[in-house]
Amino acid sequence: MTHEDGGWQPVLVRSNGLKERTGASAKDAADKERSRLQSGKARQIAHIYFNFRNVFFQQANAAYNAGDGKAAAEFSRRGRQYGELAKQFRQASNEEAYKASNLGIRNTFVMDLHGMHVTEAMALLERQMDALGRLVSPEGVLLKCITGWGAHSARGIALIKPAVLDWAKQKGCKHFVEPGNDGVVIVHVTPNDGPHHR
């Protein structure tokens, strides 16, 4: 899907529904365990800060009921500070848990560029890379570009495939021609390959 004119329009891209697990190495296992531990620590700190927040809010309520508005305001301010800290640590915990759960998973998307002119195909590829680069995935995603061999070109020479290969090289994206299928280029898209990575 791409975003055009304020609405989402279907294009020639589809997910094959696969969550491909990449080869798990000892480093991957260590990274996953480190992320789980960091998530647990951040969650514990968030819990402590939420408890502090609650204590300060209770003190603010007691001070307000006792008629001490100044103390109530100060306790409330401190409660809000601890609440913000708790939210930050909870967010950090969630990010580390997500990283641990998704390490080694790489989703694959397919984009069929058959029958297109090179300029239009490359513009579509650029928009799709922007969209896929926004995905938050520790391993990134694979974009399978079906370029064909050039059988439909005027002289029977591939035009889209070399353009995709040149484009991926210029962008610094890891890419390769699919083994056993010269009409498919696979591009590894990482979060850094999105719209801000130019």
Q: What is the pLDDT of residues 81-135, one digit of tens each?
A: 999 999 999 999 988 887 777 777 667 888 898 878 889 999 999 888 888 877 7
Residues 116 and 151: their CA atoms lie apart, in Å, by 12
pLDDT score at 46 = 93
Q: Which CATH number fits domain 2-23+105-193: 3.90.76.10, 3.40.50.300, 3.30.1370.110, 3.40.1440.60?
A: 3.30.1370.110
Residues 175-185: b if buried by 16+ CB within 10 A, e if exposed:
beeeeeeebbb
pLDDT tens for the 198 residues of the chain, in order: 333 333 333 333 334 444 444 455 677 788 888 888 998 999 999 999 999 999 999 999 999 999 999 999 999 999 999 999 999 999 999 888 877 777 776 678 888 988 788 899 999 998 888 888 777 676 778 889 999 887 777 777 888 999 999 999 998 888 999 888 888 999 988 766 554 344
pLDDT score at 185 = 93
Q: Rg for the chain (alpha carbons), in Å? A: 25
Residues 87 and 97: their CA atoms lie apart, in Å, by 15
Q: Which of 182, 179, 141, 191 is nearest to 164 (CA)?
A: 182
